[in-house]
C-alpha cells in the first residue's frame, strides 16, 4: 500500500513538473509571437504589440497562478527591462487583477519591486 502511494505521489510530481515546463514553453512562445510582430516593430509602445497579438496575450494571462509563478520567476532572473519584460509584468498585473498590489508602474523593474515589497509586508 505504501509503495502504491509513493508511486502515485512520484507520478503526480513528474506530471506537475512537466506541466510547469509546458507552461513556461508556451509562455515563451507567446512572448516571442508578441515581441516579433512585424506590424508593431515601428512602435515603441508595448500596447501596440499586445493589441496586434491579442490572442497570444490572452493565452499568457489564461495560465493564471501557474503563469504568474513562471513570469515572476523569469522577471526576477532577467537582466533586461525591455519590451518582453514589460509585457511579462503587464501579464502578471492582469493575472492578479484586483489583487495586484502595484497600481502604477512604468517598467517591469518597478512592477516587480512593488510586487515583492507588497509580498514582504503581508
Per-residue pLDDT tens listing for the chain (122 residues): 555 543 344 443 334 444 556 999 999 999 999 999 999 999 999 999 999 999 999 999 999 999 999 999 999 999 999 999 999 999 999 999 999 999 999 999 999 999 999 988 87
For residues 62 and 111, the answer to whether their CB atoms sit within 8 Å is no
Count Cβ atoms within 10 A of the Cβ of residue 77 and give its class: 0-12 exposed, 13-18 middle, 19 or more buried. Answer: exposed
pLDDT of residue 55: 98
**Measured distance CA(118)–CA(122) in Å, rounded:** 6
pLDDT of residue 2: 53
**Measured distance CA(78)–CA(109) in Å, rounded:** 10
Helices 83-96 and 64-77: angle between axes, nearest 10 degrees: 140
Amino acid at each position: 500500500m505504501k509503495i502504491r502511494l509513493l508511486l502515485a505521489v512520484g507520478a503526480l510530481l513528474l506530471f506537475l513538473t512537466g506541466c510547469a515546463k509546458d507552461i513556461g514553453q508556451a509562455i515563451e512562445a507567446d512572448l516571442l509571437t508578441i515581441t516579433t510582430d512585424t506590424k508593431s516593430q515601428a512602435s515603441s509602445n508595448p500596447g501596440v504589440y499586445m493589441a496586434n497579438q491579442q490572442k497570444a496575450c490572452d493565452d499568457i494571462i489564461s495560465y493564471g497562478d501557474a503563469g504568474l509563478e513562471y513570469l515572476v520567476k523569469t522577471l526576477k532572473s532577467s537582466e533586461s527591462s525591455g519590451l518582453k519584460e514589460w509585457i511579462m509584468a503587464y501579464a502578471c498585473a492582469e493575472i492578479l487583477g484586483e489583487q495586484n498590489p502595484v497600481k502604477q508602474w512604468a517598467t517591469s523593474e518597478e512592477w516587480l519591486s512593488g510586487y515583492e515589497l507588497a509580498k514582504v509586508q503581508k
